[in-house]
Structure 1
Amino acid sequence: MARQAKVGVLGASGYTGSELVRMLLRHPRVEIALLTADRRAGQEMREVFPQFSPFELPKLVSIEGLDWVSLGLDLVFCALPHATTQNVIKELLDKAPSVKVVDLSADFRLSDTAAYAKWYGHEHHAPELQKAAVYGLVEVHRRAIKKARLVANPGCYTTCAQLPLVPLIKEKAIELGEIVVDAKSGMTGAGRSAKEAMLFSEVSEGFHAYGVGHHRHMAELDQEFSAAAGREVVVTFTPHLVPMNRGILSTIYVRGRRGRTPADLHAILSKTYAKEPFVHVLPFGETPQTRHVRGSNMTFIGVASDRIAGRAIVISALDNLVKGASGQAIQNMNLVLGFPETLGIEQVALFP
């Protein structure tokens, strides 16, 4: 029987951290050897998340003072807030250079450290590591991810927008100056820390835009779309908060280039993703709902005609905690460690 890989989850008391634990518990090639949570250090995982009561898991510990070498980890998932992540990963890889890292924060997603400083308000603390980081959108960067030491797991909004748009941009099928991404996310996208604006009475029975004109994911979208196009691309992107727990729905408006019709765009996406295990293109004219992907690592994409000639409406849906975070992180882990890509993340969506 093949040896199980020893993995750690840094920031296990957050939503993405707990989702990692939920999925890793049923991964046949993984042993969870480390769980950290500074504010919850000393507690059992079941005390923070009662759903884990039946399972034997390591006690939550603080990151401070960990002996990275003696832990003998093969891979670490980092689900910590941005800014703190860079220093933690730098120390980890300095002391245990053989360990692989999948980072779920935004700290290594932007290849340009000056752009990072502009969007996140402080200098990058590990620019030498940034040069080695690979952007972890598997369907686009699969080959590079397999060889990576440090994988920057993409953002949830950006995954939902890139999967339908990158193939169309690469095929030069749409007008680059007329892309509009209108996206909606569930509450867990804001994290688990207590915030007044996230109280039930503040968000229930309402629906609002935020980060209008300056959301940090814009930099990530511009970077990846520009790479796909081979020239600078700047898109219109507006996120919205919806009072539901999980899910992202992106409604994307595009214009076909050189006579490309909505049916042509659908054909490009269908061909691109025909053999991809976690991206499903619906029949032309059908559109997805967030409930169709809840709890799964799937992204559903639909294409419909706009009433304006030449324009198409592309709609994509994913679970922000799975394909938008932890499920995609395990997909990246599978590639980095040489496991079958779909191992441990083949769950069918929960419905209703």
Structure 2
Amino acid sequence: MNSSHIRAAIVGSTGYGGVELIRLLQSHPKVTVTSVISSSASGTPIAEGFPHLTEIRTDLLDGIDVDLIRSKADVVFLATPHGVSMKLAPEFLDAGLKVIDLSGDFRLKSGEVYKQWYKHEPADPALVERAVYGLAEVYGDQVAKTDFVSNPGCFTTTTLLGLYPAVKAGWIDPDSIIIDAKSGVSGAGRGLNLSSHYSEINENFKAYKINKHQHTPEIEQVLSEAADKPVITTFTTHLVPMTRGIMCTMYAKLTEQRTSAEFVELYRQFYEGRKFVRIRPDGRWPATKEVFGTNYCDIGFSVDDRTGRVTFISVTDNLVKGAAGQAIQNLNLLMNWDETLGLQFTPVYP
């Protein structure tokens, strides 16, 4: 494999995550998309379902044929539903391909926890152990040494980037964390679903999967590692009538008196050199529109001296930093390229 330029296949290319991978990789200077794969639409042009991709360099959707894909690609992105990647990943790894999985199949280290939250039988424990959790700003050094990345969930990325430095530093009580998360409708995927029907979501705002969202154990797994003890959180998700974007508003008790300016400095130091995390100055907080269409995560803080709590505001585009963009960032890291390659977009505004 020529590390100066590689070929990529995308499995699950008719969902929003797969289509976003196609869009972003068209601008990557070192990657050529040579195969877009859909088990349900094999042999049809990708532009038939997505006319905005009329100029894509690969014309027809391929079926899932490991030998064919191996002859056409060096890396495979799995943008498949939960329960599917665990069957495909070992075949591609055995074929010598690098694999970046955007599903939840390899994120949780405990098979029992996976079964409880995802309602599927877990993947092979050896493969779960082999997969590197791809929260790029935290585990980037490990990503650079692997050939198998488990890409984090969208809510998880937004939450963890907002909380991890404070938990790691011991500045907040991890047992007090409450996460209030809001997502645009694209997070539900492209499949037909009553909850994402226009007349159901337009001019509406609702909570869902209360105390049952599958990203909960993923968040707790990483925060437990940061805190060096088990962490349990209250995590509530909401659907808002917009297409893209996640805002996580998070609350926690301070372990000692701190100022908002001190949090700004802590986070700027922690994420120094990581270009996709932008820390707002004291007294300013981010909005979802300010990261729209990009791989940025923007974070702001407010310490409340009256209550002894701190509020974190963290925003991402759920389809980019929350999915396809971070997957490409992880590809850059495992290829030892500049992690910003193909991802240097200015947010679409307004």
Partner of 1:88: 88
Partner of 1:101: 99
Kindly indicate whether the alpha-carbon contact (under 8 Å) linking 1:261 and 1:310 is maintained by their aligned counterparts in 2: no
Q: State how far apart, in whole Å, the 1-side matches of 2:223 and 2:123 are.
A: 26
Q: State how far apart, in whole Å, the 2-side matches of 1:302 and 1:320 are.
A: 18
Alignment of 1:1-352 (within 5 A): 3-63=4-64, 65-68=65-68, 70-94=70-94, 96=95, 98-306=96-304, 308-352=306-350
| Per-residue deviation, 1:52 | 1.4
Q: State how far apart, in whole Å, the 1-side matches of 2:70 and 2:260 are.
A: 56
For 2:90, the aligned partner's letter is K
Distance 1:2 1:139, change over 3 A: closer
3-state DSSP of counterpart to 2:278: strand
Q: State how far apart, in whole Å, the 1-side matches of 2:37 and 2:168 are.
A: 40
Q: State how far apart, in whole Å, the 1-side matches of 2:289 and 2:119 are.
A: 36
Which structure 1 residue ranges, 4+ long, deviate > 3 Å from structure 2? none
For 1:89, the aligned partner's letter is A
Q: State how far apart, in whole Å, the 2-side matches of 1:179 and 1:258 are.
A: 15
Kindly indicate whether the alpha-carbon contact (under 8 Å) linking 1:68 and 1:92 is maintained by their aligned counterparts in 2: no
Q: State how far apart, in whole Å, the 1-side matches of 2:115 and 2:225 are.
A: 20
Q: Deviations over 1:174-198 (max 9, x none)?
A: 0111111101000010011111221
Kindly indicate whether the alpha-carbon contact (under 8 Å) linking 2:134 and 2:330 is maintained by their aligned counterparts in 1: yes
Distance 1:161 1:69, change over 3 A: closer
Q: Deviations over 1:267-289 (max 9, x none)?
A: 21122123210000001111110
Q: Deviations over 1:62-86 (max 9, x none)?
A: 21x4415752421110000000110
For 2:50, the aligned partner's letter is F
| Per-residue deviation, 1:307 | 6.2
Kindly indicate whether the alpha-carbon contact (under 8 Å) linking 1:160 and 1:317 is maintained by their aligned counterparts in 2: yes
Name which of structure 1's ranges 240-249 and 32-41 shifts more when overlaid on structure 2. Answer: 32-41
Q: State how far apart, in whole Å, the 2-side matches of 1:224 and 1:131 are.
A: 15
Distance 1:17 1:259, change over 3 A: same
3-state DSSP of counterpart to 2:315: strand
Q: Deviations over 1:202-237 (max 9, x none)?
A: 111100000101111101011000011110001111
Kindly indicate whether the alpha-carbon contact (under 8 Å) linking 1:90 and 1:126 is maintained by their aligned counterparts in 2: no
Q: State how far apart, in whole Å, the 2-side matches of 1:2 and 1:214 are.
A: 42
3-state DSSP of counterpart to 1:219: helix
Kindly indicate whether the alpha-carbon contact (under 8 Å) linking 1:33 and 1:58 is maintained by their aligned counterparts in 2: no
Q: State how far apart, in whole Å, the 2-side matches of 1:2 and 1:191 are.
A: 33
- Normalised by the length of structure 2, the TM-score is 0.96
Q: Deviations over 1:323-349 (max 9, x none)?
A: 000000000001112221110001010
| Per-residue deviation, 1:93 | 1.9
Kindly indicate whether the alpha-carbon contact (under 8 Å) linking 1:169 and 1:228 is maintained by their aligned counterparts in 2: yes
Alignment coverage as a number of residue pairs? 349
Distance 1:69 1:346, change over 3 A: closer
For 1:123, the aligned partner's letter is E
Kindly indicate whether the alpha-carbon contact (under 8 Å) linking 2:111 and 2:123 is maintained by their aligned counterparts in 1: no
Kindly indicate whether the alpha-carbon contact (under 8 Å) linking 1:256 and 1:262 is maintained by their aligned counterparts in 2: no
Question: Pairwise CA RMSD of aligned residues?
Answer: 1.5
Q: State how far apart, in whole Å, the 1-side matches of 2:60 and 2:335 are.
A: 25
Q: State how far apart, in whole Å, the 1-side matches of 2:126 and 2:303 are.
A: 46
Q: What percent of counterpart residues are identical?
A: 40
3-state DSSP of counterpart to 1:131: helix
For 1:201, the aligned partner's letter is S
Kindly indicate whether the alpha-carbon contact (under 8 Å) linking 1:23 and 1:327 is maintained by their aligned counterparts in 2: yes
3-state DSSP of counterpart to 2:130: coil
Q: Deviations over 1:71-112 (max 9, x none)?
A: 242111000000011001122223x0x211110000000011
Gaps of 5+ in 2: none
Kindly indicate whether the alpha-carbon contact (under 8 Å) linking 1:10 and 1:80 is maintained by their aligned counterparts in 2: yes
Q: State how far apart, in whole Å, the 1-side matches of 2:223 and 2:198 are.
A: 36
Q: State how far apart, in whole Å, the 1-side matches of 2:71 and 2:207 are.
A: 44
Name which of structure 1's ranges 27-36 and 125-134 shifts more when overlaid on structure 2. Answer: 125-134
| Per-residue deviation, 1:38 | 1.8
Gaps of 5+ in 1: none
